[in-house]
A and B are shown apart, each in its own frame.
Chain A
Amino acid sequence: MGDGIQTLHTWERSGLLDDAWSRREFLKFCGRMAVLLGLSDAFIPRIARALETAIQNRRPSIVWLEFQDCAGNTESFTRADSPSVAQAVLEAVSLDYHETLMAAAGHRAEEARHKALEAHRGQVIVVVEGSIPTKDDGIYCTIGGKTALQIIREVEPYALVFVAVGTCAAFGGLPKANPNPTGAVGVEDVVRTKPVINLPGCPANPDVLMGLLVHYLVFNRLPDLDAQRRPLFAFGKRIHDTCERRPHFDAGQFALAFDDYGARQGYCLYKLGCKGPETYNICASLRWNMQASWPVKAGHPCIGCSERDFWDRFTPFYERLPEVRAFGVEQRADRLGGTLVGVTAVGVLAHALYTWAVRRAERKAEELAKKEGEAKPNPPEG
């Protein structure tokens, strides 16, 4: 019990309360963002300055639209590590429309959306959660009597960019899975005049969304994307190459059944159907829910939830990857590896390296905070 209370005391002192504390936490956050975005420590002050300017001026408007969704990405968003959703919504951006979180309802909610669009014409960051049904004139999803398609058309002229958060919004996701009863598609299939950024994942990792927003606030441009419009900072590497269980793959040590000897040793889950070799995402290094864990660490194979059409291409989930020869995985797995250890050593250490880089950036940020503090009288210790 003591630990829990201790944590809460710590929280009481953070964020909302003490300026010196806030400042240090803020700079540490900038440090973590620098690491996430693949920037050097030298960028920490620049990130801090850019964010401060953005915050002092008008905060960027976010209009968050939910269509054929399960609100999983919204829930995920509320679990963001740094900044927390409270910090983001109160200090960094203006979340002007979000059906699950907003106080207003009905006509008043729609009015709030129109107001935000008019006030930020061409500058609105439109986040979309859920797929868009196109069959039968889109009658499978209506809000305020309008179809999802009609709402997209209405919002498009006001948007700066569309951010498709989660695999459904990015690629059609679950509703698009065979036989796609509603003709569901992703945002990129319907938005014609504005850029689309995909943050797939079921759900998307909230810290990646925060990273994207920070990138935009700091550099005033969108991050580099891959061919599937995914930011390279989060989707540049395969799960397989960053997985902490990779040494077991290379050593030919596999779990052959759930809870067998290998599973209890934390061996590789490839033979239980892991889709890590074909999945690009940052789970293994960034982890989930304030770095608590991630699916493979917790004992279940990666189901490849951030990949296009994974519900059809990667099922049955517990069968070994089909068409693995393209990646040479099967051959290596059966012949026992070892020779590739050198190649993958960096990947194996991904989470450790990531954590190390974050700690270094945080130390740097603390030094900055200290320097700043010396220029001012010391606040009383809380």
Chain B
Amino acid sequence: MSEAFFEVSGLNTWFFTRTGTFKSVRDVSFSLRRGEVLGIVGESGSGKSVTGMSIMGQVDEPGRIVSGSIKLDGEELTTLSFDAMRHYRGRRIAMVFQNPLMTLNPLMRIRDQMFEAISEHEPASHAEMQSRCIDALRSVGIPSPEDRLSAYPHELSGGMRQRVVIAIALLLNPDLIIADEPTTALDVTIQAQIIHQMRRQIDERGLGMIWITHDLATLSELADRILVMYAGAMMETGTTADIIGSSRHPYTRKLLESVPSLNVPGEKLRQIRGSMPSLLTLGAGCPFKDRCEFATEACAEAVPERVFSATHRVWCHHPIEDDR
């Protein structure tokens, strides 16, 4: 396997509000190789989306990256200003958002929104941009792309719009695509098509992708590696087989038990009791301890990292040793 081209280490992104400091992302580290899909899974509020926005350099006020490093091909991105980051956004790192109905500007034709993605980064003639856009639209499976270019977003279906957004993300051949729940708003058949298209693009172009989702079932089909996050912190990371087949963290186990397609049909699905702790009052201990059936007094202490294999790591005082 090739070397990692993208590395996040010790990332902390906090929001400084009047009520206090929300530590949305705490000490998150991971790396990515070309042609690889890393799935980041977690509930809402787990910090997975903020991680994505941190990489884009687009954390909303009053949040900011407090510490840590984000490196693309060895270049440090966290020290760049918002305006300096612009040369990386869209060109080297592209992003696909959750709701395709909201991602495109309703007042602009598809053509203008696609052309803009090219012309803001490199000089290109009208004819050249036209042919590049048509190619991009065709590559994500949009029929008669020439006509779609002059359409407005409201004239396309949700699935079509998400394809357009993906086509825009692919336009400049980025090294990395961050997809934040890109199929959540779509119905299941369209979801499957889009996931298939994405996987093909990644394999063909050899780009890296971070797929942010709460849906472990999707990840089990798409991702090479999975990072489980909870309340802003890493819980467990490993290959898809490590996580789906032999997870060690009680939280991951609980998550897996709540996914219908990963369990025995006819058996009752289990939900995780309680709710996520406030990001304001987190101590040094494990954030999951209040909901965890294995929790002991030790869980209030700083969480140790347990290494199970070269790929599989768990942050837990009491990892589960037996396979599921």
Does B associate with A? no
Residues of A in contact with B (beta carbons under 8 Å apart): none
